[in-house]
Chains A and B, each alone.
Chain A
Amino acid sequence: MKLKHLSEIALALMRARWKQTMVAAIGVTFSIALFVTLLGFMEGLNNLLDGIVLNRTPHVRLYNDIQPSKLQPIDMSDAFKDYHNFISSVKPGKKRKEIYNAQQIVKKLQSDDRVLGVAPKITDQVFYNLGNIDLNGIINGLDVEQEAKLFAFSDYVIKGNYQDLQTISNSIIIGQGVADIINAKVDDIVTVTAAGGEQFPLKVIGIYESGLSEIDKRQSFASLTTTRKLLGVNSNYISDIQIKLKDLDIAPTLAVEYENLFSLDAEDIQTANAQFETGSSVRSIISYAVGITLLIVSGFGIYNILNMLIYEKMDTIAILKATGFAGSDVKKIFISISLSIGVAGAFGGIIFGVLMSLGIDAIPFSAPSLPTVDTYPIDYGLQYYAIAILFAMLTTYLAGWLPAKKASKVDPVIIIRGK
């Protein structure tokens, strides 16, 4: 029995009930289109939301943490080496935030194959003064070029040119929230007081908006040189080293490695932002669940229609069997009906899905907190289309399998005798 002839029979049977067949195929089309659109939209949003934080977060951050020494003197004593020593209320000692030998560490990291880039940074507490207002905040001294390259710094500078940080001395970019409170505009001078007590006039050359208002109300950015001057520290001072890796997943292992290698504290992105990962995966699971439910519902549609078709075509099945078609041939015919509904539906669904995604992609969407986005985000990942097609094939096959099995069991004698 050639496939061509099986499909010819299947096609003829479908044509006999083409309206129902169309309805079934449209059901599949609809569910696949919604599946890919829903997932593309949801993942687009996920990526966008994650990007707000994850894009700007170093994969591994090296710094000196303020915490009690892990190795207390009693642990070093030979006399108590084999004991469990309990010390309560250990206080951290005075420790400098500066990273020693920062230049060498940066060089060493830059030669590491697994590292995409390294950006040194200084963070410290400051006060913004304007008239009577003293607002506390955080200043970030940046290597502007690296920061823009690795952490999309430039995306969030909504007014002014971020490169001026380097070219104009004593310049600062302040967060939108800070700017609102102290009523500062680009080209204004703001006075910044460092934690050490020194006051410093800085020129606002840009406004920064991250989308997280807590950050925008506190943060400001300056070049490394300006920050060092402000804080009154030496010209090699660095408090953080931010590392971006080629593979985000190895961050936790590398963090441990660097911690031991450089005797610094290291924090990886997974630990720093665990809650964002959880949020994304829960959203993905919900959209997959909805999408797969749609596909299963369309599977029931196919099941119903095939069942009806079989009741209607009992005579045909009986005659095929009487003239020598085996039960397995009949089964193949009905499964191929079901699968062709699935394939046609999936094909249409993909086309409609892409069109709907393009439609959503074109809807204007401007949130003040998302400066880089002006339409709804869509992720056109091929994997959603692949999953949709796979599930469509699976559900249509299963939906066809039960009725096909029933058709293959039709006893021609009962049908022919019954006439």
Chain B
Amino acid sequence: MKLKTWILTCLLVLLFAKGSHAGDVLSVDIFGPGQTKVNILVLPARGPGGPGSSALAKSFSETVQSDISYLPFLRLAYMNEILGGDPSKGLKADDIDFKPLQLGRIDLVMTVGGRGQEIEARVYETYTRKLLLGKAYNQVDEGGVALVADRFCAQLMRVLTGKSGFFDSTLAFSKKVNGGKELFTASALGRGLTQVTNDGGFNVSPNWSKDGRHVAYTNISDKGHRLGVWDRNKRVSRLRKFGGNVAISPTYTPEGRIAISLSINGHPDIYLLDENMNPGSPLAPSWGISVSPSFDLSGRKMVFCSGRLGGPQIFMLNRDSGAVERITYEGTYNTRPSLSPDGRFVVFARLTGDGQRIFIRDLVANQERQITFGPGNDEDPSFDPDGYFVSFASSRNGGVKIFVTTRYGDPAKQIPTGAGDAMAPAWGVAPALN
């Protein structure tokens, strides 16, 4: 679908005069203690004048429902939960009988209408009968309907939670290709799956720059380890060799520099590269292995994995004071940390008796809990830009695939990435390649 076609989309219906106060509108605090679960019912798609709907609108409705299943704070309700069945005669508030919806404890009701290439979608709050979100899309075609549905869900999530990073991000990840691994990108819902590198060897550990323009990664081949940087605008990647034997876990800082584990002093330490890609002095140096740096949004806190005290554990560097603090004490093998943008939570992989599992540590409350439960191995956790969703790779269904959960440990959902093993997902604030 051409971009223009849905850029033409416009806001159809304004909030009712009385309902325009933000305070009156239902909102969901996805970060609050004890998550709210909001029930939403999607009514059958209709034509503008009656029950007949276009195939496009039906497809839109199905995709929206599939998208909603990724949002743990929403529960999709079924029509049989409503006394008397479908309580609507049309698409707007006046055409809906809200009473049975209220009785059925439905918080939100969504109507979808379609004629030809036009689609209208509205979400009402059932207790106040207020319109939360109303959108109309013109010139939608079959290829673009999923993207339009994703945009609608992004809006809905933003209205309810104030966040929409899940829909506005692109995942970069490693995928097995011809005996090696190359990098791919796709939306968090698996849309726009595209192979972006073709270097040969193994491309691993992708990490987005904060502006979403570059992906740094490690290329492993018989030439050794090289730092790769893929340029999203130019669609090309460049490889760079460093002294020493390794170039592991390159990670962008919020200022746009790359922190990377190099062994230029004989053992893997984390170095910050300058604008000419030259390493300065190591961050948090030690005689043990140090890899997998991850920064908060301020860039002043860096968590990383280090074997400085024996087995691998998670540590945090305060870049202002230079102090290094040990974060994990339980378990003998804790690796691959990801710091939430606000710097409060660390997710990491812990080797348990049942395999690798993802744990989260609240650095303020000083509490830790498990958020994935296998089976198989769960590893490579990564926070989304909102610090709410956590993506990870898991072998729970046989081959290795990418899954998403939340920091509360909601049931994990698989992200479609096509055939073949996929791992090391990284979130980038950039729309998926079309």
Partners in one complex: no
Interface residues of A (CB under 8 A from B): none
